[in-house]
Amino acid sequence: MCSNLAVSAKTNTHYGIKTLSSAAVLSTKKCVPCNTKDLRPMTEEAANQLMPQVSGWDLVNDGGTLKLHRSWKVKTFTKGLEFFQEVASVAEAEGHHPDLHLVGWNNVKIDIWTHSVGGLTENDFILAAKVNGLDVQDLLSKKLSKPAQSSG
């Protein structure tokens, strides 16, 4: 189910500090169908607990709807479309689909949220973690891309 948060929340100890486990946990999970009746959006508190596992992504509140957002600067417009193709392959494999934007010719922006529940489910975090796992370095502008934050 989309709500197996407890599984993701096992703790590791780094430098004496307890942290959530790394993105590897989410990125090895599989999205589940989101059309089940009992699926509910997670709370902001639950979402914040998963955020360390999706480095580079921001938690945004879009008019009351929680979403994950990340942006990248690509070298060319065409490389932006290639980026989308990579993301599309993951999305199709997972059966879970992000909102893709290519803005101002070289800014790739992605929003992920679960449309059917009007908010976030674990599926969104799984997809974000899998997007983070794509090898898209050669598509990105070296000068201008915001470096991904370390997840510690």
Site for ligand H2B in 37-66 (CB under 6 A): none
CA distance 34 to 30: 12
Considering only residues 67, 97, 129, 139, which one is a binding residue for ligand H2B as defined by CB under 6 A? 97
Q: How far is the CB of 114 from ligand H2B (least distance, A)?
A: 4
CA distance 116 to 95: 13
Q: Is 95 in the site for ligand H2B (CB under 6 A)?
A: yes
Considering only residues 7, 12, 33, 78, which one is a binding residue for ligand H2B as defined by CB under 6 A? 33
| 150 sits in which H/E element | none
Residue (68 or 140) nearer to ligand H2B, CB: 68
Helix (H, G, I), strand (E, B) or coil at 136: coil
Q: How far is the CB of 98 from ligand H2B (least distance, A)?
A: 6
